[in-house]
């Protein structure tokens, strides 16, 4: 699986950002608080329909906005896959797979495959 494009609107610190990604390793570099983890969190949200950082979707909606939108385009097994999520706290999350709305958002699970390793996981390595 290869993430080709990630587009965020009103997600965390991003009013709007679009990233075009190439196959291979991608490294996000920047100072603390620049939004690197927000990018990873957005991809993880599409894979797990939850954040690895917070328990409520409202925390992922940029301050002053009503909804956050995550759009991603992938190549999986040679086919293009598009997953869109609209996070609307108090109204639920809407998921679209290849442009089609899903009656149950959980139907998207398994479409986006990701493994998350965060700073909190260092205790596993260090044995703390």
User: What pTM, to 2 d.p., does this model score?
Assistant: 0.88
Cβ atoms of 9 and 61 closer than 8 Å: no
Spatial separation of the C-alpha atoms in residues 109 and 20, rounded to whole Å: 23
Right CATH number for 2-126 from 3.30.70.3270, 3.40.50.2000, 3.40.800.10, 3.40.50.300? 3.40.50.300
Cβ atoms of 41 and 12 closer than 8 Å: yes
Phi, psi torsion values for 85, nearest 5 degrees: -130, 130
What is the pLDDT, as a whole number, of residue 81? 94
The one-digit pLDDT tens for each residue of the chain (128 residues) are 899 999 999 999 999 999 999 999 999 999 998 999 999 999 999 999 888 888 888 899 999 999 999 999 999 999 999 999 999 988 989 999 999 998 887 888 888 888 887 777 777 777 76
Domain ranges of the chain: 2-126
What is the pLDDT, as a whole number, of residue 127? 74
What is the pLDDT, as a whole number, of residue 128? 65
């Amino acid at each position: 699986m290869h993430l080709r494009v990630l587009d965020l609107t009103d997600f965390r610190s991003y009013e709007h950002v679009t990233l075009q990604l190439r196959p291979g390793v991608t490294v996000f570099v920047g100072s603390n608080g620049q939004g690197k983890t927000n990018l990873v969190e957005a991809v993880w949200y599409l894979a797990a329909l939850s954040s690895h950082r917070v328990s409520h979707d409202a925390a992922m909606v940029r301050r002053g906005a009503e909804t956050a939108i995550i759009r991603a385009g992938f190549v999986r097994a040679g086919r293009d896959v598009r997953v869109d999520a609209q996070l609307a706290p108090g109204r639920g999350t809407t998921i679209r797979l290849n442009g089609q709305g899903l009656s149950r958002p959980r139907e998207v699970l398994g479409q986006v495959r990701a493994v998350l390793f965060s700073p909190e996981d260092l205790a596993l390595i260090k044995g703390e």
